[in-house]
Amino acid sequence: MAGHFFSFEGIDGSGKSTQARLLADALMACGHAVTLTREPGGSPGAEEIRSLVLEGDPERWSAETEILLFTAARRDHLEKTIRPAIARGDIVITDRFADSTRMYQGITRGDLGATVDQLHHLMIGVEPDLTFLIDLDPALGLGRAQARAGLEMRFEDMGLPMQTQMRDGFLALAATTPRFRVIDGSADPATVAAAVTAQALAHLALT
């Protein structure tokens, strides 16, 4: 059987990581083989790059350097984790994929969308079958993200204007991209998970 590829996107603190895990649990309970992964990361090489881009001073890297780092991590993730899992028939669920680079580096840190897309076409060439955008008010999301704290706070430290611009960018992309399903992330996690699972099962029933 052919595998499937689902991604979760959203601003920091939107709850997408929780929802990715809950969807994986729900699909496994239905008898599906699932590979749950994340970006940046998801393979040994990509995990090494993760600490470079998510930790440290907000101005540590230029947007252009970040695009190259994220693309390198994504290529390794694709080769080592995503493609093998799809080939064996798994449903791959990733917490972030290329749409995050389109937002973080392509829009919010400069007019670099064309650069992101060119590198993606050249080095990745894959889009998810379905993308769940967990939508949330930026102030609420940033508050959640800052409350959990930790070492990986570089993008959260860029503040509310960036989170607001990201949300607007995600919604604009979703409005023109059929693979997106926009889910209200302000409800309790179980309610959000039910909406996500319903959309995922509907997609699987048609493929």
Tell me the domains of the chain and their CATH numbers: 4-205 (3.40.50.300)
User: How far is 125 from 115, CA to CA, in rounded Å?
Assistant: 14
Residues in a beta bridge with 36? 93
What is the three-class DSSP state of 117?
helix
Say yes or no to pLDDT of 191 above 90: yes
User: How far is 38 from 18, CA to CA, in rounded Å?
Assistant: 12
What pLDDT does 153 receive?
52
User: How far is 124 from 103, CA to CA, in rounded Å?
Assistant: 17
Half-sphere exposure of 114 (CA within 13 A, CB side): 1
Query: Please, what is the end-to-end C-alpha distance for the chain in angstroms?
Result: 11
CA torsion angle for 148, 24, 6, 87 (degrees, to 10)? 130
What pLDDT does 149 receive?
65
Q: What tokens were used for 161?
A: 């204007």
Residues in a beta bridge with 38? 95
Average pLDDT over residues 130-154: 80
Average pLDDT over residues 77-103: 96
Residue 80: DSSP 8-state: I
Tell how far CA 165 is from the center of its chain.
16
Say yes or no to pLDDT of 110 above 90: no
17 or 61, which is more confident? 17
Q: Judge if pTM exceeds 0.85.
A: yes
Say yes or no to pLDDT of 85 above 80: yes
**pLDDT grade for 152, boundaries at 50, 70 and 90:** low
**pLDDT grade for 147, boundaries at 50, 70 and 90:** confident
Mean residue pLDDT of the chain comes to 91
